[in-house]
Structure 1
Amino acid sequence: MNVRLESMCQGDGKIYAQIAIERLSADSIVTLEAHLKDGTEIPAHLLPFDPLDGQSAANFVIIVPHFDEREIMLEFNEYRGADAPLGRAHLTIETNMLTWRTRINSVVKNELIAQMFDIEREYYSDRMHTSFIAAVDDKDEIVVKMLIDLPQIEGADVAIRFLDAHGKERELPVYPLFEEIKPARRFGDENRINVGFSVRVPRDDKDFCVFASDALDVVPGGFAMFCDESYEPLRARFFERTVDAAHDPAYDAWYLLHSATLADLAEQRRTTFTYEPLISLVIPLVQGEAELLARCLAALAAQTYNVFEAIVVDRYYGDAEFAALGLEQGGVCALTRVKVDEALGADEMFAAGLAEAKGSYCVLLEPDIMLAPEALFEVVRRINERRVLEYEAPARVLYAHHDVLDANGMLCELACKPLYSPDLLLSYNYAGPLIFFERELLDQLHESAGFVREALVYDLLFKAIETTGSIERIDQILYHVARAPREAAGENQARIEAHEEDFRGGRRAVANHLKRRGIEATVLSDIHEERYRLNYALPAELPSVLVIVVNREQPYLLESCIESLFEKSPYDNLQVCIVDNASTSLETFSTYGRIQGKHEEVDLIRITERSGYAACIAQALEAHESDYVLLLDGAVEFETEGALERWIGMCTRSEVGVVGAKLLLSDDTVSEAGITVGSARGATTIGTDLPRTAPGYLKRLACTNDVSAVSSACQFIRRSVLDEVGGYDDRFKLDFGDTDFCLRVIKAGYFVVFDPEVELYHFKNKIKDDHLSDARRIRLEQERAYLHFKWPRAFVEGDPFSSSLLAPGDGYYQLYR
C-alpha cells in the first residue's frame, strides 16, 4: 500500500486533503488514525472519492480538524477481515502552507475543491453529522448551539468530547436543548435523530473542536471545529435573523424608501379637512439650544399642514441676544416669543407657553425634535378620522413613532411603539417624547392638579389616561430626535444631571399614578437601564391559587418542576393538581406517589384515554375552586423566588387578565418572552435564542409589558377571567391553544402581561414543524388555519403591540421589507 498527497485546502475549521492510495489488495478495508506530533489522537474521516477531474488519481479524501499545530501525523492500515494488517503507510500533513495552497487550488482546481468540500454530505446518511447552528454573543462569552444528526439505529449512544485549539482535551459544560426524531421523508429511508445542545466559551478563548461518537461504535462519529471561520458566518447570520429595527444598519436607506414622497407631500398641501384645528407648539429654549431650535423651526416651516403656531418660551437669552440668533428672520417659521424668568422650571415654562397658546391641540416640542414634513398633517388626519367614526372616542391624546438623527446626519434607532400598553408605560415613557394633547384636556388637568416640574409629559400622560382611559397611536414615523453633539464638560454634566432629575421625577409620576388609582405598590428605579420596576402589595386576605400541571410520561422533569414551585414560590393558600394524560409507566406513577407523599397540597387526576390539553385542564377546573389558576408545563423549573405573590400583586389591577414569565433554555438564552401574532405561521415566540440579559426591542425583554399571548407553559390567570372567556378551545390539540385563549382574554377587555422579572427554565422538546409526521403536520396546518379563521383581524391589521412598519408576527421586531 502506498499513499500519495495530491491536493490540500482548508475551510470551516477543517483540513481537506485529496490522496491517492495505490496498490490496495482486492476486498481490503483501509482505516485511518490521526495524531498530533506529541501522539495525541484526534478525530479524522477517510472517505472514498471519485474526482470530477479526469486528471486526478485521488480516490480518498481525508478530513481532520485544523488545530494550531504545524504537523498532523496520519497512519493508514489495510485489513482483510479480522487478520493482522496487510499493509501500513504514513503521511504527514504540514499546516503552515495551508492558506496559500487553498488560495491557489481555489483558482486552479476550483471544481475539484468544491467537490471535496461537499463530500461529507454524500456520506451523510449512515453516519453522525455534527454542525453549528448558532453563535450568540453574550457579554464576554459566546453561546455556541450545536446539532448532532444521526440515523435512528437501535443501540446507538452519543458521546461528546471537546478538544482545544491545540487538540488537547477541554472541559466544557454541555447544556441539552432538545432530542427529537426526524421522520423519514421518502419510502425506504430511515428516521433520523436530532440532538441539540450548546456550550458557553470565553470570547478570548473560543476555539474548540467537538467530536461526537457512538460509545458502542454502531454509527460512525462526526466532528466540527469552532473558530473564526465558523464563528463569523454564524454571528452574521444570527445578527441578520435577530437584528431589530432600532439596530438595523440599513435603516437610513429604508426610511428614504418608506417616507412620504414629494408627490405625497404636494397632495397633502392641496388637501383640506372638515375640521382643521389650530395646533400650538410650545418650545422651551434654554442655554446652548439655539442651533437645535433653528433646525426645529426649519422643520416646522416644511409642514404640509400649516394651521399651527410656534411659541418659544425663552428663559435664557436677552432681547438683543435673541434677535441676534436670527430665528425671527428669513421666513424660517413664524413664531411667538415668551420671555420668562431664568429660575422657572419646565412646568412653569410650559404653563407660560400655554397662556399664549390659542390652539385646540397643544404639544411640548423640545428643540432637539424635528418634525417630518407630514407630521402635523397626519395628526390632523387621525383627529378627523376619529371624529367621523361615531363608535370611536375622539382622539384627545396622540403619539407616534420616532427615530434618532445622529451627529453624522444619519437616521437610526427607530422606535416603533405599540398601541396603548399600560404595563410598558409603567416601566418607562415609551410613548414620548412628543405627545399631542387636546387643549381642553390640558386645561382640565392643569386646573385640577397643576403641572409637575420633573417628567412633565410623563406625568401628564398618566393623568390624561386616568381621564380618557387610553391614548391614540399614529402608526407612522413623524419626528426625529437629534442626538446632541459632544459639549463642553460643564454643559454635558448639566445635561446629565437634568436627565437624572427627570428620571427621578418619572418614578414619582408612576407612584402617584398608582396611588390615585388606589393600587399599593413600591416603585423601584434603575437609572442605568432607564426603567422602573414595580412590586405590588398583596391583598389583606390571601386569594387561593390552583396550579394545574398536565403530564404524560416525564416523571423526572415533573418532579423537578413541582419541587422548584414549592421551594422558590411557597404560598399558604395553594393547591396543585397533576392531571395524568394516560401515562402507563410504573416509574411515572411512582413519581406521583413521591410527590404526594412530600406535599399534601398535591392531588392527582388520572385520565385513562389520551385527551387534548383543553379537556385535561377542564377536568382540573371542574374539581377545584380557586381565585387564580396557574397553568404549568411539567418540564419547567422556577428560577425566580416569590413568583406567585408577585403575580397576585400584579392582578390587583383589574385590567390584568393573564400574566406570563420569561422562559429560558438551559444555556441561559431565551426560549419565549411572550407570543406575537400576524404572520402566516400563526403565532411566533418573542426573543427566542437571545441572551437572557438582552433588553430586547424597546426594552421589551427587560420591562413588564403587554403582549398578544403568553405560553401555556406558564400562564397565571384570574379565575373569573378564565370562566368569562370559557377556557381553552378543545379544537386546538397540537398548538395555538394558548394564543387563541389569550386573544379571547384581550377581546374581553383585559391585558395579557409578560413579566420578565420571573424566569423559568423550560426543558421540554418543541419538535419543529417539518419534523412531525405527515398526519400531525396536516393537523397542525388545520389548527393554524383555524386560528386565522377565528382571528382574521390579527392577521390583516397585525399584532396590536407591534407595528405595520415591522415584519408581521416577527419575534425580533425587524423592519418590514
Structure 2
Amino acid sequence: MKKYLIRSLKFTVGLLPRAVRQSLRNQPRLAAWYTRSLYDAGVLRHMPTERQQYKSYKKNMAVQQQFIDELPDTSAGSLAVCILVDTPDKNALWTSIKSVLAQSVAASGILICCSRQSFGKVTRLVRQLDLHEYDIAFVHENEDVPQRFYDQAVFVCHSGERLHKDCIRVLMHWPRTDKQLVYVDSDYIDKEGNRHTPQCYPDWNPDLQITTAYIRSGCLLTDARELKQIPHLCRPYALAQWLSARTLNGALGEVQHIPLVLIHVPEKQDGVFQSLLPEFEASLARYADYQIDAGAQSLTLMWRTPVEPKVSLIVPTYNGKALVQACVESILEKTRYRNFEILLVDNNSDELASLAYFDQLAEHPQVRLLRYPHPFNYSAINNFAVAQADGEIIGLVNNDIEVIAPDWLGCMVGHVTRPEIGCVGAKLLYPDNRIQHAGVVMGYGGGAGHAHKYFPGDFAGYLNRLMASHNFSAVTAACLLVSRADYLAVGGLDEENLVVAFNDVDFCLKVQEMGRRNLYCAEAVLYHHESISRGAEDTPEKQARFAAEVACLKKRWKHVIDQDKAYNPNLTLRFENFALTDWGALLKKKLHRIRNRHLD
C-alpha cells in the first residue's frame, strides 16, 4: 500500500508547476524525506516497461525528425551506398535497395558486394528490379571497386537492412573532414516494419569495439577503395571484426559518431563472435588471452604484461575492524596476482579492538600500517600514502571492498600497463549481488552517477556494457588502479576543493585530459559493502555537502557533463538505467550543439 501511495504522491508532485517544485526542493528536510521515501518504496529503481520504452522511442524519433528537417538544404560532394551480400535473399536485398532508392537526397551510386560463388545469383536478383537509370555496380569482395567510385565516401550496410529515408541527407550535411570512419545509431525492425529497441551508441569507444564489436554496420568510409582492405567483407560480421582488429593494432584513424538512428536492422541477429575471422583472431592472440562469452556477444580479455609490476593498494580507514578484516584478508587470501603491497592508512582510529587488529596486520610481509593523524580528508589521505608507496601502480581501495574473482587484480593490471589506458575501475556488487558500480556517467542528476546501478550483477546490460570491459569518462575510487606516473602527473587527488566526494571523478577526468582512456574492467568483480539505503542523499547535511560538491564539479567539468562521450544524448540523465530520455526539447538542443561542435 505504501508503494502505491508514494507513486501517487510522485505523480501529484509531477503535476505541480516547475517553480513550485523548485521551491519544495529548497526545503532540505522536506526534500530529504521525499527522496528517502522514493528509495524506500523502490520508485527510483524501477526499469521502464516495454510499453513505456516504445512510447519514449516514438517521441524521440519525432524529435529526431524535427532536427533533421531543420538541417540546411545545401550540400556538397557525393556519397555512394555499399550493400554487403552474404547469402543471396531476394526479399532482403530488395528491401535494402529500395530503401536506398527512397532517399530524400539521392545516393551517387550503389555498390553491391558479394562473393564469387554468389555473384551470378545476386546479379540476376538485382536485374529483376529494372534499375537501368541508376548507377549500380557489382564487385567481388576483396577486389577493387570500379574507378568511378574512387575518392567517393561510401555508406556500408548489410543486405536486409534499411536506411532511414533521410540517411544520405544527414550524412551529406553532417560536418566531417578527414575522418576515416563515421557511424550512426541503429534500431531493430520487425517483419511488419515496426521499429523498436534503439541502439544508442556512445561516441567512439575503442575498448567497447574490441570487446563487443558494437559498430557492425551503418558506417561511412571516406573512400570506397577502403572496402578492398576488409578481409571476407561479405561475411555477416567481417566489417565489425575488421574494425576491432584495426582498433587493437592502433591502425584505425579518427572516428566520428552521429547520434541519430539512421539504419534499421532485422530482428534476428547471430552472435557477433560466433566465429572469429583469422585476422581478428591473430590480433587478439598477439595481445591477450581471450574467451568468447555465452551468446557470442562479447569477449573476455586477459591482457598480457611483459613483467608483473608491483601494485600498492591503499586502504584508508577509521576504526572498522570487521570491514578492514574482510577487505584485507580477502585480498591476501584470494588474489592470484601476488606482486602487491597493502598500505593500511589509519585516520585517527580510537577503538582498541581496531587498533590491535591493525598492529597485527602490520606484521604481515605484504602489509604496511601508516598513521594519518589529521582531520578526515579522503584526497589528502591517499596523496599522503602514494608518497610512501613502492609500487609502479597505485590502487585506491575502500575498506569495505571484498574480493570475489581471484583474477581481479591481474585483469586490472593488464589494462593499466597498456600505454593508452589511464584509470581502471572494477565491477562492484552490493552484498545482494546487484550492481553498485560499473562505470561513471557524467551528467546523471546534474553531476555524475553509476551506470546500471541496482541492475542484477549477471545482467548483460545495455549494449552488453555490464559484461564487457570498455571505456568510461570516470570510474569510482572504491576500487581504482592507475599508474604511479599518471597519478603524479595530474597532481593526485584534489585535497583542497574536493575533500570528501567527487575527487575520484575529478581525478579520472584529469587523467583523461592527458589523452588516456579510462576503463571499466568487467572481469574484476568485488563486493562493495556500502549500505544500499545510503544511495540517496537523504539528510539535510548530506544534501548540503552534495550540492557544494556538484557545484565544484559543474564549474570545472561543464563541457564533459554537458555531453559525456561515453554516453548518448538520446538516453536519460534522470535515472541510471539507460532508458530513453523524455526531454524532447533538450534533446534537440543537444543534437544541434553536437553538430555545431563539429562545424568549429
User: How far apart, in 1, do the equivalents of 2:203 and 2:50 lie?
Assistant: 17
- Deviation per CA, 1:720-741, whole angstroms, max 9, x where unpaired? 1111111111121231111111
- CA distance in 1 between counterparts of 2:95 and 2:244 reads 30
Aligned residues: 551
358 and 785 in structure 1: CA distance in 2 versus 1, 3 angstrom threshold: same
Match of 2:82 among 282, 286, 289: 282
Q: Greater strand percent: which structure?
A: 1
- What does residue 297 of structure 1 align with? 97
Aligned to 2:166: 374
Shift of 1:468: 4.4
Structure 1 position 570, deviation (Å) = 4.3
Helix, strand or coil for the counterpart of 2:458? coil
How many angstroms apart in 2 are the aligned matches of 1:197 and 1:362? 50
User: Counterpart of 1:563 in structure 2: which amino acid?
Assistant: E
Are the aligned partners of 1:676 and 1:709 in contact in 2 as well (CA < 8 Å)?
yes
CA contact (8 A) 2:326 2:402 kept: yes
Give the drift of 1:603.
1.2
Contact persistence 2:435–2:457 (CA under 8 A): yes
CA gap 1:286/1:609 in 2 versus in 1, 3 angstroms: closer
Deviation at residue 511 of structure 1 after TM alignment: 3.7
Q: Deviations over 1:561-597 (max 9, x none)?
A: 0000011114443211111111111111011023223
TM-score (norm 1): 0.62
How has the CA–CA distance of structure 1 residues 771 and 740 changed in structure 2, closer, same or farther, with 3 Å as cutoff?
same
Which structure has the highest helix share of the two?
Answer: 2
Match for 1:250 among 27, 33, 55? 55
SS of the residue 1:661 aligns to: strand
Q: Deviations over 1:621-676 (max 9, x none)?
A: 11123210111100110000022222222223211111111111111111111111
Matching residue of 2:299: 532
User: Shift of residue 607 of structure 1?
Assistant: 2.0
Deviation at 1:271, TM superposition (A): 2.0
User: Using the alignment, how far apart are the partners of 2:61 and 2:457 within structure 1?
Assistant: 34
Range that drifts further, 678-687 or 576-585: 678-687
Q: What's the counterpart of residue 21 of structure 2?
A: none
Indicate the residue corresponding to 2:16 in structure 1: none
The structure-2 alpha-carbon separation of the partners of 1:808 and 1:682, relative to structure 1 and needing over 3 Å to count, comes to: same
User: Displacement, 1:503?
Assistant: 3.2
Candidates 696, 716, 740, aligned match of 2:506 = 740
Q: State the match for 1:480 in structure 2.
A: 264
Instruction: Indicate conservation of the 8 Å contact 1:244/1:813, yes or no.
Output: no
1:780 is matched with: 546
Classify the secondary structure of the residue corresponding to 1:504. coil
2:59 is the counterpart of 1:260: no
Counterparts in 2 of 1:475 and 1:755: CA distance versus 1, 3 Å:
same
Spell out, residue by residue over 1:168-196, the C-alpha distance to the aligned partner (whole angstroms, 9 max, x if none): xxxxxxxxxxxxxxxx949xxxx9xx999
Looking at structure 2, the residues matched to 281 and 464 of structure 1 have their Cα atoms a distance apart, in angstroms, of 22
CA spacing shift, 1:744–1:510, aligned 2, 3 Å: farther
- Give the SS at the match of 1:623: coil
Query: Mind listing any 5+ residue stretches in structure 2 that lack a counterpart?
Result: 8-27, 583-600
In the alignment, the residues of structure 2 paired with residue 781 and residue 319 of structure 1 have an alpha-carbon distance, to the nearest angstrom, of 62
Q: Is the 8 A contact 2:272 2:297 kept in 1?
A: no
% identical equivalent positions = 20
TM-score by length of 2: 0.83
Contact 2:312 2:342 survives alignment (8 Å): yes
- Per the alignment, residue 274 of structure 2 pairs with 503
Q: CA deviation at 1:779?
A: 2.9
Determine the structure 1 residue equivalent to 2:288: 521
Map of 1:675 onto structure 2: 440
One-letter amino acid of the structure 2 residue matched with residue 639 of structure 1: I
- Alpha carbons of structure 1 residues 357 and 290: separation in structure 2 relative to 1, 3 Å: farther
Secondary structure at the aligned position of 1:260 is classed as helix
SS across alignment from 1:771: coil
Report whether the alignment pairs 1:404 with 2:181. Answer: no
Q: Which amino acid aligns with 1:280?
A: A
Query: Would you say the 8 A contact 1:734–1:780 is kept in 2?
Result: no
Work out whether residues 291 and 299 of structure 2, in 8 Å CA contact, stay in contact via their aligned partners in 1: yes
2:155 to 349, 363, 366: 363
Pick closer, same or farther for the CA change 1:578–1:260 going to 2, 3 Å. same
- 8 Å CA contact retained: 1:296, 1:370: yes
* Residue 225 (structure 2) pairs with residue 458 (structure 1): no
RMSD after superposition: 3.5
CA distance in 1, matches of 2:84, 2:128: 15
Change (3 A) 1:282 1:550: same
1:763 and 2:568 are equivalent in the alignment: no
1:634 to 1:463, Cα distance in 2 relative to 1, 3 A: closer
2:390 paired residue number: 625
Structure 1 distance, partners of 2:37, 2:165, is 54
The counterpart of 2:125, out of the listed 301, 305, 322, is 322
- Using the TM superposition, give the Cα deviation of residue 538 of structure 1 relative to its aligned residue in structure 2, in angstroms: 2.8
Query: In the alignment, what sits opposite 1:436?
Result: 220
Alpha-carbon distance between aligned partners in 1 of 2:485 and 2:450, rounded to the nearest angstrom: 27
Higher relative contact order by CA 8 Å / sep ≥ 6: 1 or 2? 2
- Cα distance change on mapping 1:574 and 1:327 into 2, 3 Å: same
Instruction: Specify which of 254, 267, 278 is matched with residue 470 of structure 1.
Output: 254
Partner of 1:272: 74
Give per-residue Cα distances to partners, 1:54-113, cap 9 Å, x unaligned: xxxxxxxxxxxxxxxxxxxxxxxxxxxxxxxxxxxxxxxxxxxxxxxxxxxxxxxxxxxx
For residues 708 and 689 of structure 1, the distance between their equivalents in structure 2, rounded to whole angstroms, comes to 20
1:651 to 407, 416, 438: 416
Larger radius of gyration: 1
SS of match in other structure, 2:382: helix
For residues 195 and 412 of structure 1, the distance between their equivalents in structure 2, rounded to whole angstroms, comes to 34
The C-alpha deviation readout for 1:463-510, integer Å capped at 9, x for no partner, is 6553344311112111111336xxxxxxxxxxx9xx57973225x444
The answer to whether the 8 A contact 2:412-2:524 is kept is no
Alignment of 1:41-80 (within 5 A): none
- Mapped partners of 1:451, 1:398: distance in 2: 21
Q: Is the 8 A contact 1:799 1:808 kept in 2?
A: no
Q: 1:247 offset after TM fit, Å?
A: 9.0
TM superposition shift of 1:264: 4.9
Shift of 1:413: 1.5
Q: Which runs of 4+ in 1 moved over 6 A?
A: 194-198, 244-247
Superposed, 1:29-108 pairs within 5 Å as: none
Q: 1:179-198, aligned counterparts within 5 Å?
A: 185=29
2:200 corresponds to which letter in structure 1?
Answer: C
| SS in structure 1 at match of 2:143 | helix
CA distance in 2: counterparts of 1:511 and 1:336, whole angstroms? 34
Partner residue, 1:715? 480
Q: Distance in 2 between matches of 1:707 and 1:246?
A: 30
- Listed one character per residue, the Cα deviations across residues 281-303 of structure 1 (whole Å, up to 9, x for unaligned) are 22244655222222222221232
- Partner letter of residue 503 of structure 1? Q
* Deviation by residue 1:775-812 (Cα, 9 ceiling, x = unmatched): x532321111000000010222x211111111137422
Aligned residue in 2 for 1:694? 459
Q: Are residues 456 and 556 of structure 1, via their aligned partners in 2, closer, same or farther at CA, if it must alter by over 3 Å?
A: same
| Alpha-carbon distance in 2 for matches of 1:319, 1:784 | 58
1:602 corresponds to: 367
